[in-house]
Amino acid sequence: MSLDPPPRAVAQEHACALERLALSGEGSSVLVVAAHPDDETIGVGAMLGSLVAMGWRVHIVHVTDGAPRDPSLRPTLGRLAPSEAAAVRRSELAAALRVGGLDPDVVLLPSLGVPDQEAALAMVEVARALSQRLVTSPPSVVITHPYEGGHPDHDSVAFAVHAAARVSGVPVRIAEMSSYHAASGRQEVESASFVPGSESSCAARHDGLLDVRARRRKRAMLDAFASQVDVLASFGTLAEPLRCAPAYDFTRPPHPGTLNYERLAFGWTGDRWRELARAALKT
């Protein structure tokens, strides 16, 4: 099932918003680097269909396979072997993209295949692979996660994209889609926003408010991830904000206080993650 394509005016507005973030002020290709199958939909699901409708070349690469090796961290797929769980995640992803008006055979690049939850252990390898991609097929803009302590894999992908841009020498704008992070002073998680106090590094910033049709499309895409329904139910469809990535110091915490992933049963701490980031920076 594919929903109606976005009206031209809406598609054009989305494409223009991304163009304003590109270094050259114009663009025609985007590479989305996401940690897990579904992060692209959470961040820019509705926008992707607009870009394709406007003739942009869209490519999406996932760093992890979406299948944590600890079965308790994939409750709906815990009975499957990791490779089987990864295949389910990939097929749900393909279904979601189709719903959003994208052809998975065209837009999806092979996953880098890092086990879910373990991207921090492979930051150097991921950065090298992404750097190679930037050299051979430089996009107008890369869209990826912010560094915000929401999930260790998200932060690791942010690290790897920044490192890849630096190492490759390819002049490319790193734009950020929203993911999720701890709400300051509260137990809740915030999405469709960025950590307060971390600012866009360019003047352009896109609040990404979605109209009714785009919201419907995004919800239908989210619903295609059947194994993640419980998790994704809490994500709204009101907006897909974008901004230029700040120049991060990955050796420092992304914000004061407890990080979102430190409150979860992942077993990751910010201290351990930053230790790995420091080691990766030395290689």
148 lies in the binding site for Zn ion (CB under 5 A): no
Instruction: Please pick, from the candidates 6, 10, 27, 39, the single residue that binds Zn ion as defined by CB under 5 A.
Output: 39
230-236 long-range contacts, CB within 8 A, separation 24+:
230/76, 232/38, 232/42, 234/189, 234/191, 235/42, 235/180, 235/191, 235/192, 236/191, 236/192
176 lies in the binding site for Zn ion (CB under 5 A): no
143 lies in the binding site for Zn ion (CB under 5 A): no
Q: Name which of 35 and 232 has its Cβ closer to Zn ion.
A: 35
Instruction: Please pick, from the candidates 18, 35, 221, 277, the single residue that binds Zn ion as defined by CB under 5 A.
Output: 35
Instruction: Please pick, from the candidates 20, 36, 133, 243, the single residue that binds Zn ion as defined by CB under 5 A.
Output: 36
Stretch that binds Zn ion, among 31-39, 100-108, 132-140, 269-277 (CB under 5 A): 31-39
The nearest distance, CB 230 to Zn ion, in angstroms, is: 15
Could you say which residues in the range 85-124 bind Zn ion, by CB under 5 A?
A: none
Stretch that binds Zn ion, among 36-44, 51-59, 65-73, 260-268 (CB under 5 A): 36-44
Q: Which residues bind Zn ion (CB under 5 A)?
A: 35-36, 39
